Structure 1
Amino acid sequence: MPTAAETARTTRYDRQIGRRDLTEWRSAAGQRLASRHKTVAQKVGARRALVATLAVGGGIAIAATAGAAYIYDGVTGRDGIESLDRPALERAKTLRSPATNGAAAAIAHVFGPVVLPAVTVGAAAAFGFRDRHPSPVALVVAAGAGSLAMTVVGKKLIKRNRPDRHEAIPPYEKSPSFPSGHTLNTTTILGVLAYLLALRQEKQAPQVALVGAAAGTAGVVGLSRVLLGAHWFTDVAVGWVSGIGWLSLIVTSHRLYLSTQDDDDVHE
């Protein structure tokens, strides 16, 4: 259980990005949302309201993924968008070399289904140990669980074929191509980690560097999937968009939590 001093530090200090106080809602819609969330939080507690908001946001993200998958399947078919995917793959093939192939393969390993989940668990544990507070842990776990669910739903609904094996280079993939799980998971998880770390910086420059590093890494991971021939470009693009959407819902949920949290939150 966090002390009152620890709670005060979290509620008053870890809420600034640049000059923007995240507890301030400038739009009328944001103010209405914050007001309704505060009403719920007063009844069930700020932490339970955060979990409920993340759950609702996760449901929306998964439903949106399913809807986008059906629309995507209706307009593209399973062999790719010839006007975009084929030229992107051909361009990627011209960039291949022993060095770029090795780098892309290493990226696939680091941001794949083994190392990235381990990093997620480790980061959640580290935030929990540092802050003695459950909210950062909840955000990291939600990021990983939600992005994984979105990936699984998209793949099961579309079952899109990857580029032919003769156009790809190791490591080869066997699961359906749409969406790119590497891209979606990296965008969401690194985005949440960058957000949480940025909140703990007093100056704007480190905040910008953290967010920029996360965005750049997500971009490189996605492009590396095309270079390997593991995905079509549109699989990667949907991974970026879906990841940013889920990340936005997580950050909004946390902002609502910060807006309703106060010093006697410790007594929940």
Structure 2
Amino acid sequence: MSLQPSESERSIGSRDLTSWRSRPGRWLRQVFGALAERLRNTELAVLVLLALAAALAIGGTMLAGEIYEAVVAGSSVALLDRPVLDWMISVRTPTLNAVIATFSASGGQLWMSVITGIAITVVCLRWRRWTPLVLMLITVGGSLGMTVAGKRLTDRARPPLAESIPPPETSASFPSGHALNSIVIAGMFCYLLISHLTGVAARAATVTLTVLYVLAMGLSRVYLGHHWLTDVLASWCLGVAWLSVVITCHRLWLSQHRDHSLRRRPIAPTA
């Protein structure tokens, strides 16, 4: 198996991932290229960029937690959280409770790790590439870092135990680990798959299923009374931000390797 980028990785449909159309994108590409040349190692340059991004992401989570606490102290957040939880409680039924609890459990640390591990192993073996594993490890690592930082800083109380469906959760409420991990893991799988799918309908179906899964997992936490709605909304925002960072770094890596390939390509002799 290889870590070198393949042709299928470099595009999603007609979209060339190594082409930077916006001015900020082109500037970032130039900065990364200069860093890679200085370090004389593209992979090391990516790791340096990701380490910086991870530090910023965790710092951003802590800052968001401080702002979040200030908002909660002003009780304005309750205007959204309490009515939504009350509505969720009103539509509960024993059957629906069992179904949603089982589905939500699949997004916990144990089952999510097992499912993700099996899926990423199948993808790596089928494509004969290490790239999916590396991208997933980086994605999950950042997500876990943001979850731990947010929970330790805010220590926000979860909804009352009397209004939650067992088993009870004991960690802090913000951010929602289920919501954050589900969006980054499902999002990364979606990104990997659509780069290898050739049909527009197949790519559209993959994106749609990913969005529905992320929405269902996040809202299941509110339905069960394990999180406030704002915990889930904040987690989705953090997840999208981190996923964007990892995908951007992957695109920079692809672009740098493409540039190296073009430079090494022999020039055809002229007649």
TM-score, structure 2 normalization: 0.89
How many angstroms does 1:14 deviate by? 1.6
Count of aligned residue pairs for this structure pair: 261
Residue of structure 2 equivalent to 1:60: 56
Between stretches 75-84 and 57-66, larger displacement belongs to 75-84
Q: Counterparts of 2:140 and 2:52 in 1: how far apart (Å)?
A: 15
> For residues 48 and 125 of structure 1, do their structure 2 counterparts lie closer, same or farther at Cα, with a shift above 3 Å needed?
farther
> For residues 50 and 132 of structure 1, do their structure 2 counterparts lie closer, same or farther at Cα, with a shift above 3 Å needed?
farther
Identity over the aligned pairs, expressed in percent?
Answer: 37
Q: Counterparts of 1:154 and 1:260 in 2: how far apart (Å)?
A: 34
Structure 1 segments unaligned to the other structure (5+ residues):
none
Deviations 1:120-164 (A, max 9, x none): 333443344344443322210011111111111111001011111
Residue of structure 1 equivalent to 2:13: 18
TM-score, structure 1 normalization: 0.90
Residue of structure 2 equivalent to 1:41: 36
Equivalent residue in structure 2 for 1:135, among 131, 135, 142? 131
Aligned letter for 1:20?
R
How many angstroms does 1:104 deviate by? 1.5
> For residues 36 and 146 of structure 1, do their structure 2 counterparts lie closer, same or farther at Cα, with a shift above 3 Å needed?
same
1:78/1:161 contact within 8 Å kept: no
- Bigger Rg over Cα: 2
Q: Secondary structure at the match of 1:162?
A: coil
Equivalent residue in structure 2 for 1:214, among 200, 210, 231? 210
Aligned: 1:190 with 2:186: yes
Q: Counterparts of 1:57 and 1:211 in 2: how far apart (Å)?
A: 25
How many angstroms does 1:80 deviate by? 7.8
Residue of structure 1 equivalent to 2:267: none
Map 1:252-267; keep pairs closer than 5 Å: 252-262=248-258
Residue of structure 2 equivalent to 1:238: 234
Deviations 1:91-140 (A, max 9, x none): 11122112221121112211101011223333443344344443322210
1:54/1:250 contact within 8 Å kept: yes
Aligned: 1:32 with 2:21: no
Structure 2 segments unaligned to the other structure (5+ residues):
265-271
Q: Which runs of 4+ in 1 moved over 6 A?
A: none
Q: Counterparts of 2:129 and 2:46 in 1: how far apart (Å)?
A: 13
Residue of structure 1 equivalent to 2:268: none
What is the RMSD of the two structures over their aligned residues, measured on CA atoms?
2.2
Residue of structure 2 equivalent to 1:105: 101
Aligned: 1:160 with 2:156: yes
